[in-house]
Structure 1
Amino acid sequence: MQTRTVALLALGSVLVLAALVRPDSGDSPAQAEPDEPRRAVVRDWPLLDATGRAPRGSTCGNRSRRVLLSFDDWDYAEPKRMVATARTAKRLDVGMLYFPLGEPNTAYRRAHGKSLADKVRAQGQYVGNHTYDHRSLSTLGAAAIRREIRGGVRSSLLRPPYGAYDAQVAAIASDLRYRICLWTLDTRDWRDLTPKQVRTRIVRNVRPGDVILLHMNHALHRRYDVRALVSAVRSTGLKLCRPYREHGEPATSPVRVPRKLRC
């Protein structure tokens, strides 16, 4: 009887361990690559409170009390709008952070000879990597994660799609010389809120030093007015990050975003 009990306990332990192991995507062997540094386990999703804040979110190099507006994804219907918003921001003396996808950015460069990311940088705005085609990195194997990151826009900042990443993603990003960059305030414009609703969320919840998450690819977002977003933040008495500068003058921002933004 005792022998049977021990055997059943051993079998149960094996089944529990098997259930805890995440199946590999098939893109690479399940074991971690030997040259990758170990990283502490992090959350798959940013921890959001009732207002959409991410207390553990990254400030993306914004160490000031100024607010940083950031835009994810791509305006597929009007890709040049990204450059138009960058020009408006420069005229308003505002520096913003863009995370376009690598796939459409590469296609635009092949068609027009210059990428939209380069045009945005020319306006003193910052550009980060949002992967090649917006696959959730924490569901992929190591080889696929590397392909997604390498296929994205060149930068030193990586914003994983959906904010989803784990220890493996963090280790590979570090190996490729990227820093994970999330946000501290989610406007939830991805719920197709009206521009007015988005501005209201900003005014009610923004705090000094916030990195605000917005998206370029939602239909209603094409009606967003950068001037109105800037005015919404300034109406709270807070200041926004300024465009990149060299020797005190606006300049083209570097491909590798500085660890400390010159806000």
Structure 2
Amino acid sequence: MKKTLIPLLLLLLIGLSASAGCMMADSGYQSAPMVTESVAAYDRNIAEEYQAAYPDQKVIKDAWVRLRSPDAKAASEEITTIAERYNGRIQSLSLTSDGMRDGREQFSATIVLRVPSDSFEAVMQEIESVGILTQREVKSRDVTAEYTDLHAEKRALENQVGRLTEILLKAGTVEEILKVQSAIDSAQLNLDRVTGRLNLLESQIDEATITVSVQEGEPIGIDSGFSVTSVINTGIAAFLFMIGIIIVAVCALLPLVVIGGIAWYIVKRRKE
């Protein structure tokens, strides 16, 4: 009896072991889709999370202003002072000589300044009062969606690098280590790229860009519009206009005078 029970017990143990192995295999195959679905759901939720965290609109503001001023150098210094007063900064400033006019050297200036977006309108008003405004252009670009997507992508890549780093610590062979390290390097490269784009975007959102062009012109007169320089320039222009008319008239009448002189000379010779 005992000899018969021993083989039966062995067969029973083998059967239980096989069943347990099949169940473990099935559970292993089923876990992969579940992990993939959970990661996908997590990535989808990241955008919604940041949309809730950053509900305000993210706008990039750019402006171009053209001014006419009797002194481009002084206007540039005043614009620099305005930017500094609003915690802004001068990104670039160039001063160019435009030659001599009315006995003095003329200059033009181009100033690119970055100012806090909250102070954009106030800075624009003060800059436009520095000289005579001849052109004004303002552009606003809503980048809320791009900002949210970049934050979500950055968060997902950070988590990916973290998970791969944990896997790397558990790698047992050189081949596994190399594969995981390659995946980490690729994810880190994408993370650095996204972080750079996000930093640039945040900088453009936080600080508006204003480009100011200043050209020298006639001195600004009193409120009535009277200007000595304008009067002189108008007089010179009128004088040159009259000289031009006289030259045109002479050129137009000269052939008639020549023909008339020749005809008179011929008639006179015949009478003699």
**TM-score greater than 0.5 by the shorter chain:** no
> In proportion to residue count, which structure has more helix?
2
Scaled to the shorter chain, the TM-score interval is under 0.3
Larger radius of gyration: 2
How does the TM-score come out when normalised to structure 1? 0.24
How does the TM-score come out when normalised to structure 2? 0.23
> In proportion to residue count, which structure has more strand?
2
